[in-house]
Amino acid sequence: MTKEELMHKAIALSKDNVSNGGGPFGAVIAKNGEIIATGVNRVTANNDPTAHAEVSAIREAAAKLKTFDLSGCEIFTSCEPCPMCLGAIYWARLDKIYYANDKNDAARIGFSDAFIYEELSLPKEQRHLSTERLLADEAMETFVMWSNSEDKIEY
């Protein structure tokens, strides 16, 4: 399939999802023009704030390919990824992102991510979500265990 055909599929998924009680977002993961996985936004339908189209597609692709490394794959999404999805795309090592609507289009219909980007640029003590470090020494033991493990799978 061409890039345009794959994007048409992502957009069609988003339209179908709105008709089925979900958010206006769809995603397709492809490898060499072949669809590997798809996802739609089911945040409110599933009461899952992480059920974004891109994350759902990544989960499906990783399960289907039996790997957490999706190098060689590309993602086609009906809207520019939010910070969570963008992070997931980087962690999954997808080669390229294609998107249709952008974050400004999303903000105009009530899906603004600007507050997250603004929060991340602030020092922790100035953020709206309070954070506190606890038991760092105890937790460090796990990092030492990981560092010393000879059978770990690095990612």
The torsion angles phi and psi of 39, rounded to 5 degrees, stand at -155, 155
Q: Judge whether 54 counts as a catalytic residue.
A: yes
CB 84 within 8 A of CB 55: yes
Pick from 107, 95, 44: nearest CA to 70: 95
Instruction: Say how far residue 138 (Cα) sits from the centre of its chain.
Output: 31
| Residue from 4, 5, 54, 154 carrying the catalytic annotation | 54
What is the residue whose two structure tokens read 């958010």? 23
Could you list the active site residues?
54
